[in-house]
Structure 1
Amino acid sequence: MKMRRSWILKNSIALVGLVVSLCCLFVILISVLRLPEVSRRKGLMGPYRSFKSRKVSKDEAIGKLGEMMIEMLPEDLAFTVFVPSEKAFEQVLRLRANDSLVAEKKNDTYAVVSRILGFSAVPRVLSSTTVPSDKEVSYDSLSGFPLFISKDADGRLVVNRIRSQRMDLMRGEIVVHIMNGVIMDADFEQSVYNEED
């Protein structure tokens, strides 16, 4: 019996040593065999990066609530966000940057804006040049809400029957389109209008 315990003990120690050695070897291999860096030069990212990008200054059409919305996303990942205009935030959601961002209302405003972000952000680059003129395309938003995107006769993007005001604004890897309305599902829309009554 004593001999059997020492055999199990010796083999257990050997097994632990083998597992630790394999883990160390795996870590060394991963650190040595890193993936190559991808160039961001024009033309090397495929057809999805063919549009001209420009930086958006803080004073352009995005507005404070739109800025809040965009800041919720990581800047280094590709997203497309259909941001409501300042007028749409005010008319549809009754949010005004001046009084909705004060300390006592900021948490409620953040909750509403983050919910709207879930309905109106797509985890891919969708510039006005990548949307075909002759047909409607469909993508799921971050929350799984379907977005039906097309172009009108003027070349403006139309998302779920809401027309764009400004298109193809860039914020890092994020494409921003300013919309003349708010993209949301029927349940959230109903809750917005119920609060008004």
Structure 2
Amino acid sequence: MRLSRQRLKMGGFHVISFASLCLLLSLWSLLLLLNAHLPDLPPGPYKLLRTEETKDVQLGKLGEMMISMLPDDLPFTLFVPSESAFQGVLQLNSSDSLLDQKVNETFAILSRVMGFSTVPLRLASREVPTRKEVLLDSVSGFRLHAHRRPDGALIVNNVRAELADITRGEIMIHIMSGVLMDAEFEQSFRPDYED
């Protein structure tokens, strides 16, 4: 009887060991699959450069609202529309878009824009090559084409950055002169003309 209990205990140890090994292999496989879908960075030597927090840069209430939707301890790059782009393209301004009756609609629009303009990696403008295009996938799968002009200006999907390399924790922010979005979403902001 004592011998069978010992064997049972040993068998339990093997079952636990086998289950732990399966769990580790599953996690390792999941990490491999997740890394397989990350966008490629341009080739080149990468250095760990320290960037100072730039909390003193004013992004406006709508820009700050977008940034607050992301965790600041994970690396993201966010292409935030400028205040004039919010107003001109999305018809949003911080004075009336954040009122109680419109805040839900504004949140929905900003969430959708975030899907198009957020990349799950930290990308400073100096890491984007001049005249050579870098392809990035946003968190929604929207394809972004980034390059720098010879004068150093960052261009993403033909939209110029007004201000680049603003940091909030691990988030890299670039303020854009337009809004990054797909054609279908853009159609919802174009005026309807009746013939």
Asked whether the 8 Å contact 2:154–2:161 carries over to 1, the reply is yes
Instruction: Return the offset for 1:61.
Output: 3.5
Instruction: Return the offset for 1:153.
Output: 2.8
Q: CA RMSD in A?
A: 2.8
Asked whether the 8 Å contact 1:164–1:178 carries over to 2, the reply is yes
Larger radius of gyration: 1
Q: Which residue of 1 aligns with 2:156?
A: 159
Query: For 1:23-63, what per-residue CA distance to the aligned partner results, in whole angstroms no more than 9, with x for missing partners?
Result: 8x96xxx9xxxxxxxxxxxxxxx92632x4122326x2311
* SS of aligned partner of 1:153: coil
* SS of aligned partner of 1:69: helix
Instruction: Return the offset for 1:91.
Output: 0.6
Q: Which residue of 1 aligns with 2:12?
A: 18
Q: TM-score, normalised by structure 1?
A: 0.74
Asked whether the 8 Å contact 1:48–1:130 carries over to 2, the reply is no
Distance in 2, matches of 1:146 and 1:196, equals 30
Q: Cα distance 1:195–1:72, how it changes in 2: closer, same or farther (>3 A)?
A: farther
Query: For 1:90-142, what per-residue CA distance to the aligned partner results, in whole angstroms no more than 9, with x for missing partners?
Result: 11001001110111110000000010000000001110111111301101101
The AA in structure 2 aligned to 1:47 is Y
Instruction: Return the offset for 1:194.
Output: 4.4
* SS of aligned partner of 2:85: helix
- Deviating beyond 2 angstroms after TM superposition, the runs of 4 or more aligned structure 1 residues are 46-50, 194-197
Number of aligned positions between the proteins: 164
Q: TM-score, normalised by structure 2?
A: 0.75
Q: Which residue of 1 aligns with 2:36?
A: none
Distance in 1, matches of 2:67 and 2:119, equals 12
Q: Cα distance 1:101–1:150, how it changes in 2: closer, same or farther (>3 A)?
A: same
Q: Which residue of 1 aligns with 2:66?
A: 69
Q: Does 1:140 align with 2:163?
A: no
Asked whether the 8 Å contact 2:55–2:167 carries over to 1, the reply is no
**106, 111, 114: which is aligned to 2:111?**
114
- The 5 Å alignment of 1:80-91 reads 80-91=77-88
Distance in 2, matches of 1:164 and 1:125, equals 16
Q: Which runs of 5+ in 2 are unaligned?
A: 25-44
The AA in structure 2 aligned to 1:18 is G
* SS of aligned partner of 1:96: coil
Asked whether the 8 Å contact 1:48–1:125 carries over to 2, the reply is no
Query: For 1:7-36, what per-residue CA distance to the aligned partner results, in whole angstroms no more than 9, with x for missing partners?
Result: xxxx9xx69x938x938x96xxx9xxxxxx
| Identical amino acids, percent of aligned pairs | 47
**147, 150, 153: which is aligned to 1:150?**
147
**113, 122, 125: which is aligned to 1:125?**
122
Q: Which residue of 2 aligns with 1:193?
A: 190
Instruction: Return the offset for 1:184.
Output: 0.4
Q: Which runs of 5+ in 1 are unaligned?
A: 1-10, 31-45
Distance in 2, matches of 1:148 and 1:123, equals 15
Asked whether the 8 Å contact 2:131–2:149 carries over to 1, the reply is no
